């Protein structure tokens, strides 16, 4: 007996596994179906049992599903399978479900049949992990996708209700079929913390999904570590050093953060605990009374005493570099003598390591809470050291008087040299001095020790001697790059040696050479000719003037004889030595050329002579060209100021002033001086403050170029700036907070730019934010030592929190980033009262019931509004004006509500306030009416308002007169 279609015989529904059958698929789902079309899916039954089974299909109940099979009753042998087809032809655009039953004896297998219309199939990632970030107030962005794998568009909404600086955009939207939408998650790393937040995401067709946002924010820590054990270093003690020497200490600078950092070392001035050149062992009253010295040490440049190499650079993540600190104390002159043992100078100064980036300036107090650039890492290092004068004391004093002696004799003085310093030893060396000798010549005197020194006078000639004996003090002196030390003389001490060498009293008999002798010497070689005057008896010597005689004159060329040198008869022994080829010698009497030869082993060859001549000519031409260029430049300068010699009658000091320099000449002078930066010179806060003050005094607010145009500007703006130079360019404030603003409102904040460098710089703002696109200009050429401000314009069409950052470059080099904050809100109006009670004012019935309500606009954008009265069954008795209008920013507008009295008019009414792209408010109006008739009729009305019954007593009092209808 056949079972009717759609009817079911009560049977036990079991799974296919229990009946040793495998049905594929277990659920037949027709997806993305359209009305009017036909869809088919196969169903396969496999007999896994050992016996034959009789299988029967029962057609679905709903007409949209139809079973297509050749034989609905079939006996299926063991191991075999059969396939049937289910056809689905929807007639409506809706989801339909049914069941297909497969009967095996008294048991049945249920296969769900589902027909689905085209729908969206949205998917989203469940986690956004920013990883490890540095707390530098920079906004980081991660993108995730919402993918729609379905064939119908799907809607989504996102919502974050936490208090952390997390912004998700867009908050809602539609994803088209087979496409995706990018969702941006912005996070501002403003402070160190571990973030594990949840944002709610609603996808169409799915329950709410929670999006996990994970961030680990750490501080960007710069650390100084010891070279030996990698422990943190907070102070470096240089100890004691003589003035003029140096001491060097090393440390490791460590970037303990996951991001690279540009850093610069700055010497801090006028900090708490600073000591500059004061003697901490000196009594307070003595130190305070020496006001001249206190003023002098207050104005010293401490960067001349302390050096840090390197003092700028870039550290990669978790990178360590070696930094060398050099302490070189220099003597600051006091009213006392330099060799006073109490002239000790102690130093305690602080060095700061700053990260390079946007900042708020150096003229403000570093401890002020308004400084937002404190988020940039600052490491402070204390440096202490003491400078001592070199003191050597001699028991005989600085002047030594030796006993007179003769040539070949010796006069000695033994003195005691003492080092009174109990802190440092003294290494000395006596420089060599003629006729004097010191033993030992060099040595070392330990702390508080003495040493005997023997000073000897050994004359080699007769005379009175008063010489200065230099004592060089040797110590460790830093080299030019301040990274190594070498022993060099750094100080000198003078001793004065006095003595006399007397001539010998021995009488020597004069022996005269009967031959001809030159006038400059004598034959004995012991006495000069001037000694002949002491002797009355001496043999006459024939002296001949060779220029007056013509004896043995030979026929010779007078021109050749003119430049010849005279050779004496007794210098024959020296005539065999090589001579100069350009010098000629002739005899004194005959003027005959004397034999002269040139040694070929030591003389120049012809080619060498030509090279030497070319070398000399090259330098001669170079000097000549320099001179001609200098003269030409001088002539051009003189040519600019043409004048004549005509006397115009001006008197000296008559009030004529020199012409002032133009602005271009001033800029040229500024950029020509100090453009080069000493790589070993530290920056100091005092110098930075003075530079900033000069730059602030020279404001340039108009005519700033967007690109360099002149050759001078192009040359300056193409220079590659170091971190030390970029640190002298202030771009701030580092946070531009626009506060609470309205959608589509235009807001402006100034971004200050201070150029402390003596050169042009090129500032470029890398702004890719649509909200800041209305800013007038994004690049500026800033003159040397000048300041300006850039007006940043913000306008957003979307409501919500805004946290974004943009970077800027200085001469195409990254200089930092600026954080932009705003709370963008939709426009809204506030009512002074939500319910208005109209009382009678006056006696004219048409105008006596009126009150005013105030519309307050507390935001920075004008608001358009319109009133809409609510119609009731009894009509509209209230009117308001103006019915539409505009409320200016931060102002209010009063609207007047009037009630038209009448016996059939309602005493209650409502107005709906519509704000364009804003909120909607409701104003309730109640007219308090009391009417008295001839019989003084009273009635009460009770009405439920909220949760309270309010009783209203209405009294009508009417009077009729010729002038009209009056009431009270």
CATH of the domain at 171: 2.60.40.10
Task: Provide the 8-state DSSP code for 918.
Answer: B
> Do 191 and 234 share a domain, yes or no?
no
Contact 867, 883 (CB under 8 A): yes
What pLDDT score does 575 carry? 53
Do 157 and 202 share a domain, yes or no?
Answer: yes
Torsion over CA of 258, 262, 267 and 268, rounded to 10 degrees? -60
- DSSP lists the bridge partners of residue 63 as none
Q: Is 552 exposed, middle or buried (0-12, 13-18, 19+ CB in 10 A)?
A: exposed
Residue 681 has what pLDDT?
85
Residue 1 lies in a domain: no
> How far apart are alpha carbons 1 and 201 in whole angstroms?
56
Last residue of one domain, picked from the residues 196, 218, 240: 218
Residue 26 has what pLDDT? 87
Count CB neighbours of 920 within 10 A: 11
**Structure-token match 């001006």, residue found:** 650
End-to-end CA, the chain: 93
Question: What's the rounded Cα separation, in Å, for the pair 678 and 308?
Answer: 12
Task: Give domain status of residue 549, yes or no.
Answer: no
Q: Contact 91/35 with Cβ under 8 angstroms? A: yes
Cα atoms found within 13 Å of the Cα of residue 103, Cβ hemisphere only: 16
443 against 578, higher pLDDT = 443
User: How does DSSP classify residue 573?
Assistant: G
Q: Which of 796, 825, 854 is the last residue of a domain?
A: 825
Same domain (yes/no): 887, 906: yes
Confidence band, pLDDT 50/70/90 cuts, at residue 564:
confident
CA–CA gap between residue 173 and residue 799 (Å, rounded)? 15
Task: Find the mean pLDDT for residues 320-340.
Answer: 77
pLDDT confidence of 806, banded at 50, 70, 90?
Answer: very high
Helix/strand/coil for 203: strand
Same domain (yes/no): 201, 320 = no
Closest CA to 140 of 197, 191, 187: 187
What DSSP character marks residue 243? T
Domain edge (last residue) among 166, 183, 218? 218
Whether pLDDT at 786 is above 70:
yes
Q: Does residue 2 lie within any of the structural domains?
A: no
In a domain, 513, yes or no: no
The answer to whether residues 254 and 348 belong to one domain is yes
Question: Highest-confidence range of 69-73, 259-263, 589-593, 936-940, by mean pLDDT?
Answer: 259-263
Among 496-500, 513-517, 783-787, 902-906, name the one with the lowest average pLDDT.
513-517
- Taking residues 140-165, report their average pLDDT: 92
Domain-embedded: residue 952: no
Residue 810 phi/psi, 5-degree rounding, is -120, 110
Average pLDDT, the chain: 80
What pLDDT is stored for residue 202 in this prediction? 93
Q: In the prediction, which pLDDT does 251 show?
A: 94
Confidence class for position 595, pLDDT limits 50, 70, 90: low
CA distance 146 to 202: 11
Euclidean distance between CA atoms 222 and 376, whole angstroms: 10
The answer to whether the beta carbons of residues 926 and 837 sit under 8 Å apart is yes
Between 48 and 905, residue with greater pLDDT: 48
Residues 6+ apart with CB under 8 A from 306: 267, 325, 326, 327, 328, 349, 351, 383, 682
Which contacts of 964-967 are long-range, i.e. CB under 8 A and separated by 24 or more positions?
A: 964/845, 965/845, 966/843, 966/845, 967/840, 967/843, 967/845, 967/901, 967/931
Contacts of 197 (CB under 8 A, 6+ apart): 160, 162, 164, 166, 212, 213
- Average pLDDT of the segment spanning 733-761: 92
The whole-model pTM stands at: 0.68
State residue 53's pLDDT score.
Answer: 85
What is the average pLDDT across 242-246? Answer: 92
pLDDT above 80 for 755? yes
The top-scoring range by mean pLDDT among 512-521, 638-647, 877-886 is 877-886
Give 18's pLDDT tier (boundaries 50, 70, 90).
low
Asked whether residue 143 falls in the same domain as residue 46, the answer is no
- Among 708, 726, 725, residue whose Cα is nearest residue 717: 708
Dist. CA 364–CA 696, nearest whole Å: 13
Q: Are residues 790 and 814 in the same domain?
A: yes
284 domain-assigned: yes
Distance CA 395, CA 414 (A): 10
CA neighbor of 738 nearest in space, from 818, 858, 820, 859:
820
| Same domain membership, residue 841 and residue 773 | no
Q: Of 233-247, 408-422, 626-640, 923-937, which range is least confident?
A: 923-937
User: Between the CA of residue 911 and those of 225, 343, 894, 925, what are the distances in Å?
Assistant: 73, 90, 15, 8
Average pLDDT over residues 266-292: 75
Going through 484-548 in order, the beta strands assigned E by DSSP cover 485-502
Residue 426, number of CB atoms within 10 A of its CB: 26
State the pLDDT confidence band at 416, using cuts at 50, 70 and 90. very high
Give pLDDT, residue 22: 87
- pLDDT of 651 reads 57
The structural domain count of the chain equals 7
Nearest to 197 by CA among 181, 183, 186: 186
3-state helix, strand, coil in the chain (%, to 5): 10, 45, 45
Task: Please state, in angstroms and rounded to a whole number, the distance separating the CA atoms of residues 888 and 877.
Answer: 30
Is 190 in the same domain as 273? no
Cα–Cα distances in Å, from 750 out to 370, 732, 741, 793? 17, 9, 16, 9
Is residue 89 scored above 70 in pLDDT? yes
Q: 3-state class of 607 per DSSP?
A: helix
Using one digit for the tens of pLDDT, what is the confidence trace for 178-227? 999 999 999 999 889 999 999 999 999 888 999 999 999 998 888 999 99
pLDDT of residue 418: 92
- In this structure, the answer to whether residues 263 and 171 fall within a common structural domain is no
223-242 average pLDDT score: 91
Residue recorded with tokens 């946070």: 735
CA atoms within 13 A on the CB side of 646: 4
Mean pLDDT value of segment 266-289: 76
3-class state of residue 419 by DSSP: coil
**pLDDT band per the 50, 70, 90 thresholds, residue 694:** very high
Torsion of CA 508, 514, 515, 519, to 10 degrees: 50
Confidence class of residue 660 from pLDDT cuts 50, 70 and 90? low
Of these ranges, 97-106, 273-282, 287-296, 399-408, the one predicted with the greatest mean pLDDT is 399-408
Domain range spanning residue 197? 122-218
Q: What is the mean pLDDT of residues 825-844?
A: 84
Q: Are 66 and 13 in contact (CB under 8 A)?
A: no
> DSSP secondary structure string, 944-962?
EETTEEEEEEEEBBEEEET
The order of strands in the sheet holding 81-88 is: 21-24, 39-47, 81-88, 65-68
Residues 266, 382 share a domain: yes
Torsion, Cα of 521, 522, 524, 526 (10° steps): -50
| 367 or 294: which leads in pLDDT | 294
The closest of 428, 426, 427, 422 to 447, measured between CA atoms, is 422
Q: What is the pLDDT of residues 465-501, one digit of tens each?
A: 999 999 999 999 998 888 889 999 999 999 999 999 9
Task: Work out the average pLDDT over 560-565.
Answer: 65
pLDDT at 535: 45
Residue 641 pLDDT grade (very low, low, confident, very high; cuts 50, 70, 90): low
Residue 632 placed within a domain: no
> Do 316 and 464 reside in the same domain of the chain?
no
Calculate mean pLDDT across residues 37-53. Answer: 87
Give ∠ CA 581-585-591 in degrees, rounded to 5.
140
Task: Please tell me which residue, 683 or 370, carries the higher pLDDT value.
Answer: 683
DSSP of 130-195 = EEEEE-SSEEEEEEEEEEE-SSS-EEEEEE---SSSEEEE-SEEEE-TTEEEEEEEEEEE-S-EEE
pLDDT at residue 306 is higher than 80: yes
Does any domain span residue 955? no
**Res. 552 pLDDT band, cuts 50 70 90:** low
């Amino acid at each position: 007996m056949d079972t009717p279609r759609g009817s079911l015989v009560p049977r036990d529904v079991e799974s296919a596994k229990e009946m040793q059958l495998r049905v594929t698929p277990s659920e037949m789902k027709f997806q993305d179906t359209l009305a009017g079309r036909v869809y088919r899916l196969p169903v396969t039954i496999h007999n896994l049992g050992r016996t034959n089974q009789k299988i029967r299909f029962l057609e679905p109940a709903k007409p949209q599903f139809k079973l297509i099979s050749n034989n609905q009753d079939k006996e299926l042998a063991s191991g075999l399978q059969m396939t049937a087809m289910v056809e689905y032809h929807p007639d409506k655009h809706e989801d339909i479900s049914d069941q297909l039953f497969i009967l095996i004896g008294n048991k049945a297998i249920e296969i769900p049949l589902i027909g689905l219309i085209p729908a969206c199939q949205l998917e989203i990632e469940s986690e956004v992990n920013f990883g490890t970030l540095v707390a530098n107030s920079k906004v980081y962005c991660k993108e995730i996708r919402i993918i729609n794998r379905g064939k119908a568009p799907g809607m989504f909404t996102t919502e974050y209700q936490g208090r952390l600086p997390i912004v998700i955009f867009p908050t809602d939207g539609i994803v088209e079929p087979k496409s995706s939408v990018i969702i941006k998650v912005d996070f501002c790393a403003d402070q160190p913390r571990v973030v594990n937040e949840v944002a709610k995401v609603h996808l169409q067709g799915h329950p709410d999904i929670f999006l996990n946002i994970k961030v680990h924010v750490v501080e960007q820590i710069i650390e100084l570590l010891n070279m030996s054990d990698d422990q943190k270093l907070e102070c470096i003690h240089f100890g004691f050093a003589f003035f003029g020497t140096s001491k060097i200490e090393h440390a490791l600078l460590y970037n303990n953060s996951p991001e690279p950092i540009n850093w610069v070392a700055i010497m801090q001035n006028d900090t708490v605990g600073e000591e500059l050149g004061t003697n901490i062992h000196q009594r307070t009253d003595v130190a305070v009374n020496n006001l001249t010295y206190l003023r002098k040490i207050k104005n010293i440049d401490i960067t001349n005493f302390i050096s840090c190499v390197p003092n700028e650079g870039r550290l990669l993540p978790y990178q360590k570099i070696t930094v060398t600190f050099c302490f070189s104390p220099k003597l600051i002159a006091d009213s006392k003598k330099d060799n006073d043992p109490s002239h000790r100078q102690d130093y305690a100064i602080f060095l700061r390591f700053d990260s390079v980036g946007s900042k708020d300036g150096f003229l403000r107090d570093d401890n002020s809470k308004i400084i937002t650039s404190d988020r940039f890492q600052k490491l402070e290092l204390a440096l202490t050291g003491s400078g001592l004068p070199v003191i050597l004391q001699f028991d005989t004093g600085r002047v030594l008087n030796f006993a007179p002696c003769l040539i070949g004799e010796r006069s000695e003085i033994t003195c005691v040299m003492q080092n009174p310093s109990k802190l440092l030893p003294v290494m000395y060396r006596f420089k060599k001095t003629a006729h004097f000798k010191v033993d030992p010549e060099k040595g070392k005197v330990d702390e508080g020790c003495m040493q005997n020194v023997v000073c000897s006078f050994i004359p080699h000639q007769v005379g009175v001697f008063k010489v200065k004996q230099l004592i060089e003090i040797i110590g460790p002196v830093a080299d030019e790059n301040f990274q190594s030390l070498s022993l060099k003389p750094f100080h000198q001490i003078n001793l004065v040696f006095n003595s006399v060498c007397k001539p010998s009293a021995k009488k020597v008999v004069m022996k005269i050479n009967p031959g001809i002798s030159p006038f400059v010497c004598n034959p004995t070689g012991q006495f000069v000719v001037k000694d002949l005057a002491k002797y009355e008896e001496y043999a006459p010597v024939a002296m001949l003037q060779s220029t007056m005689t013509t004896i043995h004159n030979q026929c010779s060329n007078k021109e050749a004889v003119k430049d010849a040198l005279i050779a004496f008869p007794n210098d024959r022994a020296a005539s065999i030595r090589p001579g100069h080829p350009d010098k000629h010698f002739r005899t004194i009497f005959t003027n005959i050329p004397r034999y002269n030869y040139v040694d070929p082993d030591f003389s120049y060859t012809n080619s060498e002579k030509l090279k030497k001549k070319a070398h000399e000519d090259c330098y001669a031409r170079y000097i000549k060209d320099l001179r001609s260029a200098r003269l030409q430049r001088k002539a051009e300068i003189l040519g600019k100021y043409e004048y004549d010699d005509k006397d115009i009658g001006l008197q000296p000091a008559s009030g004529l002033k020199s012409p002032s320099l133009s602005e271009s000449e001033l800029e040229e002078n500024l950029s020509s001086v100090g453009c080069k930066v000493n790589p070993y010179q530290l920056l100091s806060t005092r110098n930075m403050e003075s530079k900033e003050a000069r730059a602030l005094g020279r404001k340039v607010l108009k005519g700033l170029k967007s690109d360099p145009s002149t050759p001078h500007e192009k040359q300056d703006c193409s220079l590659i700036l170091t971190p030390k130079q970029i640190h002298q360019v202030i771009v701030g404030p580092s946070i531009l907070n626009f506060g609470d603003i309205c959608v589509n409102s235009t807001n402006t904040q100034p971004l200050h730019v201070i150029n402390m460098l003596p050169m042009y710089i090129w500032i470029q703002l890398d702004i890719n934010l649509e909200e800041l696109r209305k800013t007038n200009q994004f690049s500026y050429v800033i003159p040397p030592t000048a300041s300006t401000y850039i007006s940043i314009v913000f306008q957003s069409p979307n409501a919500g929190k805004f946290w974004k950052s943009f970077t800027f470059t200085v001469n195409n080099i990254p200089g930092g980033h600026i954080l932009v904050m705003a709370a963008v809100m939709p426009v809204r109006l506030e009512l002074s009262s939500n319910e208005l009670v109209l009382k009678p004012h006056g006696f004219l019935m048409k105008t006596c019931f009126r009150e005013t309500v105030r519309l307050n606009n507390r935001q920075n954008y004008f608001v358009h509004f319109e009133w809409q009265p609510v119609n009731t069954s009894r009509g509209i008795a209230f009117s308001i004006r103006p019915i539409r209008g505009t409320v200016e920013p931060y102002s209010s507008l009063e609207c007047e509500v009037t009630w038209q009295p009448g016996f059939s008019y309602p005493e209650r009414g409502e107005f709906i306030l519509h704000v364009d792209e804003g909120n909607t408010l409701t104003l309730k109006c109640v007219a308090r009416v009391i009417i008295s008739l001839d019989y003084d009729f009273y009635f009460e009305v009770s009405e439920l308002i909220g949760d309270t019954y309010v009783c209203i007593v209405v009294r009508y009092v009417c009077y009729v007169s010729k002038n009209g209808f009056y009431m009270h």
